[in-house]
Amino acid sequence: MFLSLLVPDLHVESVYDIDLKQLKARGVRGIITDLDNTLIEWDRPDATPELVRWMKEVKEQGFSVVIVSNNKQTRVSKIAEPLGVPYIHQAKKPTQTAFRKATRQMKLSVEETVVVGDQLFTDVLGGRRMGFYTILVVPVARSDGFFTRVNRAMERLALGWMRKRGMIPWEDNNGQT
């Protein structure tokens, strides 16, 4: 059913909490990641030193990475190029085109790839409906643009609905979202 497509396989505080060794052990070799509020704040113009270190670590561990963002090229390239990471801008998530393109670029299957992002209606929905293992992170930013705020209001509604029906697996342990 539709709402189960909004439930990520894993929910972590930030990308830095993703257990890369565990992913590798599960056969994952590629990471499709969102940019804004996933890797850095939507209004931060450059990568943080922490992000630079993490990307280096991810590559050293042998993962392929593609940044897949709905934002425009000027924004996405400014972050991705200095990091030396390929990107797809104006990805129109949750549609499938950019996800397919990313796996083709990495020459990996859906099963070998995870999708990481901060939004249910773009990253999680887009990843889940194609069968990717999907990791939701807590948004990095404190303030959001208008459309993201609207999206978040809908996310809260959907999460409340799912919580009532016991559909939120990560709440089984600690009662927090």
Give the count of residues interacting with Mg ion (CB under 5 A): 5
Residues making up the chain, counted from first to last: 177
Residue 34 binds Mg ion, judged by CB under 5 A: yes
Residues between 104 and 123 that touch Mg ion (CB under 5 A): 118
Q: Maximum CA pair distance of the chain?
A: 44
CB of 77 to Mg ion, least distance (A): 17
* End-to-end Cα distance, the chain: 22
H helices of the chain, in order, are 20-25, 49-60, 73-83, 97-106, 125-129, 146-164, 171-174
Closest distance to Mg ion from the beta carbon of 177 (Å): 17
> Considering only residues 33, 37, 64, 71, which one is a binding residue for Mg ion as defined by CB under 5 A?
37
Q: Does 36 bind Mg ion (CB under 5 A)?
A: yes
CB of 43 to Mg ion, least distance (A): 12
Q: To which H or E segment does residue 11 belong? A: strand 10-12
Interaction site with Mg ion (CB under 5 A): 34, 36-38, 118
